[in-house]
């Protein structure tokens, strides 16, 4: 499927105009809370202004660590979130299918898929991680036990960048509830603060649950 066709499919799905077309089922990241738990977690988060980006570098969040054998974090999530994934001796995915719940596109080449940090590393830096140890930042960047990592369309991940839900949301509105629950859960686990606009956006998204 070309990226143009995938974009068209996304628009049709978002508009509710496409009937009877489904993508490959996506794996669900672990640790997604219920709506009630997410609301409770959100209520417990500190609210404050975004911090400075001074001193930020992705290198301060060591990521794509070796998880098992030759497989690093990215390759582990590709296998978890894909279907019929085949890997070579170095654990690189040579074939498979990946459904991106952010935009509804399905891909058959791992090169078309990024692993999204649900809480972007720069966003985490601005909301408290600047004062953490490198070990704690490494934990966030490779956390496979929380809903912090998910396989999505590469262009979509790149368009998200380091934006919070007040300025970027998945194009598929049907995923807003899940996205808000994931975002809130990770911020709660790591005691990261939220801005007032971010909290308002999360509450609006949770209203879709």
Could you read off the pLDDT of 14-53 as tens digits, one per residue?
A: 333 333 233 444 568 999 999 999 999 999 999 999 999 9
Low-confidence residues in the chain, pLDDT < 70 = 1-27
* pLDDT at 10 (0 to 100): 39
* pLDDT at 33 (0 to 100): 98
Whether this prediction's pTM lies above 0.85 is answered by yes
* pLDDT at 28 (0 to 100): 83
- For residue 149, the surrounding DSSP H or E stretch is strand 149-153
State how beta strands 105-107 and 93-100 pair.
antiparallel
pLDDT digits (tens, 9 = 90+) for 149-167: 999 999 999 999 999 999 9
Strands (E), 19-140: 66-68, 71-72, 82-87, 93-100, 105-107, 113-117
1 in Cβ contact with 105 (< 8 Å): yes
Sign of CA dihedral 65, 70, 74, 78: negative
């Amino acid at each position: 499927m070309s990226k143009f066709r995938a974009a068209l499919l996304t628009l049709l799905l978002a508009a509710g105009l496409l009937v009877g077309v489904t993508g490959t089922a996506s794996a669900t990241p672990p640790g997604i809370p219920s709506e009630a738990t997410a609301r409770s977690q959100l209520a417990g988060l500190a609210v404050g202004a975004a911090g400075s980006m001074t001193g930020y570098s992705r290198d301060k969040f060591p990521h794509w660590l070796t998880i098992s054998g030759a497989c690093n974090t990215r390759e582990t999530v590709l296998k978890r979130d894909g279907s019929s994934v085949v890997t070579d001796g170095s654990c690189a995915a040579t074939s498979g299918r990946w459904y991106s719940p952010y935009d509804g596109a399905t891909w058959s080449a791992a090169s078309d898929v990024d692993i999204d940090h649900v809480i972007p590393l720069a966003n985490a830096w601005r909301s408290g991680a600047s004062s953490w140890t490198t070990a704690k930042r490494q934990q966030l960047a490779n956390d496979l036990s929380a809903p912090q990592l998910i396989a999505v369309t590469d262009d979509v991940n790149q368009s998200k960048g380091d934006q919070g839900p007040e300025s970027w949301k998945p194009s598929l509105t049907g995923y807003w509830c899940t996205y808000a629950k994931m975002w809130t859960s990770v911020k709660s686990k790591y005691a990261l603060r939220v801005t007032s606009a971010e909290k308002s956006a999360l509450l609006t998204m949770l209203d879709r649950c």
